[in-house]
Structure formats: structure tokens, C-alpha cells
Structure 1
Amino acid sequence: MRKIYLFLVGYLFFDEICSLFFTILNIDIDPTSDISLYVYLKIFYGLISVIYCLTKIIIERKTTSFFIVIFMLTMLLIILLFITSMRYSNTPISRSTLITLGYLIPFFILCGVIIPKIDLEKISIRIPYIILSLFVSGMIGIVIPNIQGETVNSLNGFTYQNTSYFFSMGFLLTLIHLLKNSQRERIRIRTYFYTFLLIFFLVLSFIGGGKGALVTNIFAFSLYSFYSKITLKRFLYIIFCCVIGYLVILNISNKNIELYSGIERALSFLSLDMQTLWDNSSGRESIYNITIGLISQKPILGWGIGSSNFTILRSYPHNLFLEILLDGGIVYFLIFLAAISSTLSTLYRKAKNDLCYIFILSCFLFDFLSLQFSGSYLFGNYFFWFGLLLNIYILFFGNKIRSYEEVSHI
């Protein structure tokens, strides 16, 4: 059973782990290419995961009703993707369809196998390893090159937006780990280390220049404040970390004009001037306008699942709700809205007395927020999908999810 948890953690933090290896091995690839080492690795990882899961089912000679339901939903998704591909490209498996299949289908099958037997604590105990991997990536990939005089604001093989989200995730995970250890033995050196990590991840998330990272950082701090029943002392501690991080950012930006422009782009989200927002939106205004125009043409049932690459957009809309409306119209949107609302309600209820659910809820919301600015729900964002599938199991197949991180102080 231990191997299947490693497969799951590998999926949930696939990008963060890839960034570590790409950085250490100094592998530089085109992050915008549909055919790259990253794509091949992800599809290969999915293939291995499927083989392992199916082998496990064959050996055990049994499965669960939850797996059967997830498998049927997966087949439905495949059929809908094929229909969309045939409608617009006259081929059942276009490049974008193949990538979606390689990214999502194996993960669904993995979740169908593991969720009925899952122990969430076995996922959350891997948090320190992910924090460490992000720290190493940041030091080798960004900090050291900039100290040596280079101008680097992204990790090997990833865009500056991806890089910003990686370190924003590091900021969130550090706060969650701080929350987990808040009532344990207080070691002063550990507090100093947490302080350093928070400042480190905060600074690097802004150096990347992604605006979404600002939102996810604010969200991470707000969530931590809510669940820790934050005291004035701890509030001032986090504010201190943010102030120090901001001063470091100012010092860096004053020495390098290129890094300054990235930081200015990230902080532009705080502006109340709409023109400033759109000027720093990396072309989002035109993308949103085109998407809204396409939605208005087929508002009820949309253009088809995964259709954005077949329209004049030639890419995804960089906003979850717009992409859902484009794919399936109002009908699909209402289904997703109900699923997301239900998942938030379930995870929030569970998180009242269980730290593992705080972790899942935090990462689910992190992916949900990031999808409002960048990325496609069909190309990964595994915590988003994991939260939705976990909610299906809790609501319809039982409430017996094992987790031992109960917290009486919440």
C-alpha cells in the first residue's frame, strides 16, 4: 500500500518534484511546448500508475463500487473528449486530447483505487519533503544564479507564472506545517527556520512576477490565521515575516531592472486602476473577451469538453469558470458549481477538527484560486480534482476516511 501513496503524492506534487530534478540536472526545456520532456514524463508516470493500479486489482481479485463509478465517469470523459476532437479536427485523438488523457485519466484511476482505503495522514507527513525540494530548487535555480550576477526569475522548464505558484505553494505548506507543530514542543531554532522559510518562499513567489501568487499568498495567510485562532503574538510574527520579505524584495528590485518589472507586475494586482491591471495581465483582457464572445455563441451546451484548443483561442482561457462555460455552457457550469460548493462544504466541515483535512482544503483552494488566473482544469491541478473525488466518496460511499491528525485547539 505504501507504493500507491508514493504514486499519489507524486501526482499531487508532480510539478514541484519535476522542477527540483530539472534544476539539479540543469535541464532547460521549452515550457510552452506541447511536446517536451515534461509532457513525456507526465504521460509515462501516468502509464506506470495505471499499470500498477490494474495489476493490484487483478492480484486482489476485487474492487469497490467507488472505483467502478469513477471508471465509468472516466470513460464518459474519454468519449466526450473524442467527440470534441472528431467534431473539430476529424481525428479522435488530437494532440491536446492526448495530453488531457495522459494527464487526467491515470490520476482518476489511481484515486478510484486509493480513496476508499486512504489514510490522509500518510499524505500530509510528506509535506516537509516537498518544502525541502522547493527550497533546494529555489536556492539552486534562482537565488545562486542571481547572486552570481545572472537575471533569473523562473525555474528550468517552467514559466515565471508556474515558478511563482511553486513558491507560493511553499509558503502555504510552511504555514500548514507550522500549524501542525504549533502545540508540540517549542524549539526556538525551529521557529527561526520557519521564519526563514516563510520569508524565502514569499520573496521568490514575487520575483517570478505572477499575479496569482499574490492572491494565493494572501489566501494562505488568511487560512492560517483562521485555523490557528491566531494570537496577537503569532499575528505579529507572520506580519514580521511579510515585512522582512517585502524589504528584501525592494532591495532586490532596486538592483535589477528586469526583476523589478516582474515584481511590479505581480504587485499590480493590488492596484485599483483597471487599466493598470489589464496592462499587466499578459494579454488576459483579449483572451477573456474572445472567450466571452465564443460562450455567447453557444451558451447552453458550449463547444464541447476540451474545445478551447480548437477555437480561435488556440489555448485555454486562463480562467476556470470561463473555460467551463466554453466547454459545456450553462449546464456544465451549474454541475461544476454544485460540485465545487459541495466539496468546499464537506472539506470545511471535516477541517474543523482534523489537520489533514485542513491540508486538503488548503491545497484544493490553492488550485481553485490559481485556476482563476492561469492553467487549465484539464491539464492537471491534481489537488482540485482530488478534492472533488474525495467529496464524492464521502457523500455517497461512506465517511470512513482514516486520519489521525485530530486537533483539539481548533
Structure 2
Amino acid sequence: MIRLQLLLVGVAAGGLLCWVSPLTGNEAHAVQNSVYGIQGIGFPGRPVSIRSRALGGGNAVFDPASALNPAAVAGYTRLIASTGLGTTFRNYTVGDTSVGGLRETRFPIGMVGTPIGGSPLRLAVSFVPYAERSFDVQTTSAAVIRGESLTVEDRIAAEGAVTDFRLAVALGAGSRLLVGGAVHLLAGSSRLRVRRDFSDPQYRSFVQQSDISFSGWGLSAGVVVSLVRGIQLGAALRSDGTLESNFPLSAPERVDLPWAAAAGLRIAPTPSVTWSTTAMWRAWSRATGGLLQGTRAFDTWEIGSGLELGGAGARILGLPLVWRTGVRYASLPFSARDEQPSELVLSGGPGLFLGGGRIALDLAVERASRSGGGAREEAWHVAAGLTVVP
């Protein structure tokens, strides 16, 4: 049954994106997560804070509230807790079919960081999305059964995600050098429901539901170097092992997860003006052997750059505000075609400091345009973050 479920998922995904030629032209609708999250292990999550989202991820390798570079955790000089909430509004077009009005809300990140006693060590625990796979897809096709031509309607729904839980430790090895390392635990689940209906009432509908659990782990390390006053370089490396999928009454399946490397530059010519950029490469092609036949996995590149105005006691319109804006380009890892999808994201939003700087409210608004692999997708993402110093 599990194998049939996975086959139907692959067929429906292929039909949706016009990726599997026998189903080209079928009707499909109701993707809840990105239309690009049906293939592979889902749509890759972003390990960044709400502030970093507003900056296009430009500061991600330097941001202690993001989960990209463990060395950045050295920036926690006091106990700090942060979290966020984000809602995505999206529509997509496949061939002549356009679907809109899709919405999804998630808690994209949570982080707690603190110094360890009176030592120079810093500790942080966090959770961020690693991959999201929530969709509800319906396809209609023709099938010949026992010599009779029938209309077959398949509906495949999945709801779940893989979450990256991180424990990071960092050390300020000197006034200009920060180093850190982290252990990552990957865990999650997905509820998969498959239904097949036939136009001939003599054939009974097929319905099957299964809960799938995921597990894996990874390691990361990073550095941040202050070259001169106002100029910093950062870098991080990460190695993930395999993602194990556990099905009821079936042997586990494994997918090799990517290695990753990130590097960034931050320049602050004045305390109230900061420009930063971060680039990252991930070897997603390692996953090819563990995916459904016909699914392509590509290595990905992404680069984000952002400008932050305000801070250090500066005020905008009389308020203790900062303004952030950014842009990000990324290639996407999974497709059933030879064409690799990609996305371009424009972002911006303010940050407001209250309580003498002990509370920070961040807002990020992102406009994403994705294309490739037989589809186009437009999305708005609105996220709010809260950071508290107890």
C-alpha cells in the first residue's frame, strides 16, 4: 500500500506540473504549500530570523537569531528569546490552469540564547523548518481497466514538515574572531492520504491513510572575523547525514541530505547604516538516489543582500525604528524536468525597539516569484517576530 501511495503522489505531482507526459493536461488544484514542494522531500526551509528575512537573508551568516552560522551565537551576551509567526499567500499557474487564494500559516523559527556562567562560551537552542511538504492535489485522467475506458480521479493530500532542532555553542576566541559548532537533530512527520475514485460505480473507491515519521542529524561549524572596524567576514559549513522515512509496516527509506557552505560580508560605515550579503551552496544532488524515479535533484545556489538603516539609538519619524530592505535569488532543488526552478524574492520591513531595548518587534514582507519545471508561482509572505531580553 505504501508503494502505491508513493506512486500516486509521484504521478499526481507530475500531472500537476506537466512533468509526467501521460498526465499532461490534466486538471489539478489546491496545493497548500508551494507547488515546488511536492517533489523530493518538500520545499526547503530557511534557517533565518524575521529580521534576516526582511534583509533578504543578507545578514544570515552574522545573525545570532538565525540558525545558519553557530559562531554568530557568540553575540548573545545576555539571555535572549525570540520567535516568529509567518503567513504565506500564494497562487500558481500550470499550463492553462491558474489557482489562487492559497494560504498557509506557520511558526518559522524559535531561539533561546544565553551566556554560560561567567565564561566566554555562549549557548543557543533553536528550531527552524528544514523542509515543508503540505499539499492537497487532485488530478483527473483516463485509464483502461479490463478493456474498459474509465475516468479516474486521484486526490493526494499530505500535511507535515521536517524540523531542524539545533544546539549551538560559540566562543569569542579573541576580539576579532568568533568560532562555533552545532549539532542538528532533524525530526518530523507527515500524514499522507490517498483516494482514487472511478467513473464507473461498479468499481469501489480506494482510500488509504498513513503517518510517516522522519529522522536524521547533522553537524555544522562556523567563524566570524572582524577585519577592521565596521567590516566583518563570516563563513559556515554543514554536513547532514541521511533523512530516514519510517512507514507503517514497511522498511525505512533513506535519502542522502546535502552538504552546505555559506559565506558573507558585512559593512557598517556608520552605526546606523549596515549592508550585508550572504551566499550559500547546497549539494542537493546527493539526494537523487533516494527519490522517486523521475525526480531530479539539483545542487542549489542562493545569494541575499540587504540594507539596514537605523539602530544604535537612531530614530525614524521620532520612533526607535530601523528600516530593512533586501533582495534574494535562489535556485530550487527538485524537479521532474531537466529544467531547474528558481525564485527571486524582494523583501523589506521595520523593526521597533521598546522597553529600553529589551523588546524588539520585527516585521518582514516578502514578494516571491518562482518559475521553471513547468509552472509559475507568485507568493506574498508576511512574518512578525518578537525578541525579548528577560
Q: TM-score range by the shorter chain?
A: under 0.3
The structure with more strand, counted as a fraction of residues = 2
TM-score calculated relative to the size of structure 2: 0.20
TM-score (norm 1): 0.20
Quick check: which one's helix share is greater?
A: 1
